[in-house]
Structure 1
């Protein structure tokens, strides 16, 4: 299955985005909504993902035939995908972007951003192989979920399809993505080490002389 290649998919439009995700075969449901001055419809004043997480009792999966009516019933509701056609590997955004800089030179990897997190999509049931650091989380299987654009504060860095031809990107194995994440974590650790800081300070002193 694929997405129409007639024009770029506007994932800021709920109806267009929902149909594009359904065309990929993803299992979609509606989630909570964010209401200005009232917060998330989950009623939690400290909600960590207002307007971008599943309902406690999920609604039936959406189809192309029910998409528009469902969106009209719950305007602004989050679009929630079950992690059945992919695993979601969640990392700090700085690590995700560092890994993506390298991955972009090899192959496109679907990646979305929310606040200070990056989420890289990998082959189903392989996300555990990307758990290379305590700050990496993997969601997998029918009980896992991912809020998709245009859910509140969620946007694609790299969409899951090739705009030019309308076909989905080939997902990598979690171990392949894990190698690049490990490199990013290691590079950060080196840059933050006392030795690196001392060398940087000496370099700055030399530049001022």
Structure 2
């Protein structure tokens, strides 16, 4: 949990309070399953899609190699995938059916270990403590269209 604070410099929120990683861990352990750990979408835009669509999109992105770069992503127990892209770049995805965008300091997402969420692709390098490079959200639009078309024909 300290990577959220130390590596990514993301604010951690429990309830309505911004807390340290140490305090967040203590609160979550005191009330397992009852408190949600969140962050604002200041350092990224969050693109939220149904899990099946998200999985297809990530496979397509992997097949393309490094364009876009590996997309940090979360899988929620509610059946959603959250893709993190560079801040202010997800606007082209607003209004696409089945896509929700959270952006800026008013946008929030839940972070692991909350509510059965887990990282599919980490937002930091596992071999050294550096944040992942975030892709432009617009790069996801053609992949999203392809994934949606293949989901509809499956």
TM-score normalised by L of structure 2: 0.84
How many pairs are equivalent?
Answer: 147
CA radius of gyration, larger in:
1
Q: How does 1:48-197 map to 2 (within 5 A)?
A: 58-59=16-17, 61-64=18-21, 66-67=23-24, 70-71=27-28, 76=33, 77-104=35-62, 105-106=65-66, 107-114=69-76, 115-131=78-94, 133-189=96-152, 191=153
Structure 1 unpaired stretches of 5+: 1-16, 32-57, 193-209
Match in the other structure for 2:12: 28
The alignment's TM-score, normalised by the length of structure 1, stands at: 0.64
Segments of 4+ moved more than 6 angstroms = none
Deviation by residue 1:99-148 (Cα, 9 ceiling, x = unmatched): 10122232311101113111100111112222362111100111110000
Contact 2:46–2:82 (Cα < 8 Å) also in 1 = yes
Cα RMSD for the two superposed structures = 2.0
1:181 shift after superposition: 1.1
Gaps of 5+ in 2: none
Ranked by relative contact order (alpha carbons within 8 Å, sequence separation 6 or more), the top structure is 2
